[in-house]
Amino acid sequence: MGPAGWAIMYLVLAVIVALIASKKGRSGGAFFVVLLIVPVPLMILISGIFGDDMEHKSFAMWLGAFLCPIIGFVIALMSDNAEQAAVAQGEFGDYRKCPFCAESVRREAIKCRHCQSNLTSTS
């Protein structure tokens, strides 16, 4: 596979990681941008470390670049989804924590689905 094929594969991996992050309530666009920016200085650093050793340099640069989406994938999978983050932080994305039972409910909800408390007076 040539460099264009590897670049396309990298972009596909970056899009997949961004989609997973957005499903978890995180900014998929931010994940995608970071996955486009971070490999460049990493590859420059690896290039400087290997110097004139061309036999190992190109493999190390591609390996370093492809570690970025793998690490992003792990971070996206380990992050809380929006409902879990709302319970931990009070509110996150489209969710907030019910002041009566501390479960996550949608921001526009008027009644908690867990404890049946009226949420309109607490907004």
Give per-residue pLDDT as tens, 6-36: 788 888 988 998 998 888 777 888 888 888 8
Q: How confident is the model at residue 123 (pLDDT cuts 50, 70, 90)?
A: very low
pLDDT (mean) for 112-119: 88
Q: CA dihedral in degrees (92, 94, 98, 104; nearest 10)?
A: -80
Give per-residue pLDDT as tens, 29-76: 888 888 888 888 888 888 888 878 877 877 887 788 888 888 888 888
Q: Are strands 91-92 and 104-106 parallel, antiparallel or unpaired?
A: unpaired
Strand partners, 97: 104
